[in-house]
Chains A and B, each alone.
Chain A
Amino acid sequence: DSGVTQTPKHLITATGQRVTLRCSPRSGDLSVYWYQQSLDQGLQFLIQYYNGEERAKGNILERFSAQQFPDLHSELNLSSLELGDSALYFCASGSRGLESTEAFFGQGTRLTVV
C-alpha cells in the first residue's frame, strides 16, 4: 500500500460528459502528480501541484483541469469527454520537500468513455 488513495477505481461515462477524479496523497506529502496511461501513448505526465499551487504542466489537454485543495487532496476534472480519453489515470504524491525525486503512486482510476 503506497498510502496514495484514488477514487473511484472505475468510471464509465458517455462522450461529452464531465467527470472528476480524486486523489488523496500520502500523509505529509505536498506534491501531487497526475499521469495518464494509455496503450498508444504510454505513461504521460499531465500536471503537478505543490502545496496548492500548480508547479509543472505536461501533455494536459485544455479540456482537462486540476486543482489541489488546502487539505492537499487533488482533483482532476475531465470535460467534453471523447472516446480517446479512455485510459488509466494515476495520481502520485511526492515526498515532503521540493528536492524530492521519488513519487508514490495510487492504484489508478480506469476511465472508460463509451
Chain B
Amino acid sequence: GNSVTQMEGPVTLSEEAFLTINCTYTATGYPSLFWYVQYPGEGLQLLLKATKADDKGSNKGFEATYRKETTSFHLEKGSVQVSDSAVYFCALSSLYGGATNKLIFGTGTLLAVQP
C-alpha cells in the first residue's frame, strides 16, 4: 500500500544553518505530496504542497521538489530560525475507492533550532 518514510529526529541545528529533512514515498498512481508543520500545542498546518512531478512547493523560505524518479519530496530551508522549531510531517494524498482521498503521514521529524 501507499506509505511515507521520513528521516528520524530529532534534528538539532544552530540558527542560520541549512536544513534538509528527507522524505520518500511509495504510492501507486500520481499522489499529491505535502509538508505539514506542527508547533508545540497546536494542530497541523499545511506548509507546502506539490501536485505533480517536478513541481516545487515553497512557503516561508521552505522548499520541496516532487521527484518521481527517486520518489522523494525532501524539505529544505537555507537558513533556519529558532521559530522554525516544530515537528514536520511529510504526507501524500491518494485516491481511495476512486472517489475520495485521504492523507497518509510519515512519522514526523522534530526540529530543534538553537540560538
* Chain A residues proximal to chain B, CB less than 8 Å: 2, 4, 31, 33, 42-43, 45, 48, 50, 55-56, 58, 90, 92, 94, 98, 100-108
Contacts and interface: CB of A to CB of B under 8 A. Distances in A.
Contact of B107 (A42, A104, A105, A106): A42
B43 A58 contact: no
Contact of A106 (B36, B43, B46, B51): B43
A48 B108 contact: no
Nearest to A6: B43
A101 B49 CA distance: 10
Q: Which 5 A-B pairs have the closest CB atoms?
A: A101-B93, A105-B43, A43-B105, A101-B32, A105-B44
Contact of A2 (B43, B97, B99): B43
Interface string B98-115: 011111111110000000
A90 B100 contact: no
Q: Is the interface of A mostly helix, strand, loop or mixed?
A: strand
B5 to A, nearest CB: 12
A55 B43 contact: no
B3 to A, nearest CB: 12
B89 interface: yes
B35 to A, nearest CB: 12
Given A55-B99, A98-B99, 12 more contacts: A2-B43, A42-B105, A42-B108, A43-B108, A50-B100, A92-B44, A92-B103, A98-B100, A101-B32, A101-B49, A101-B101, A105-B36
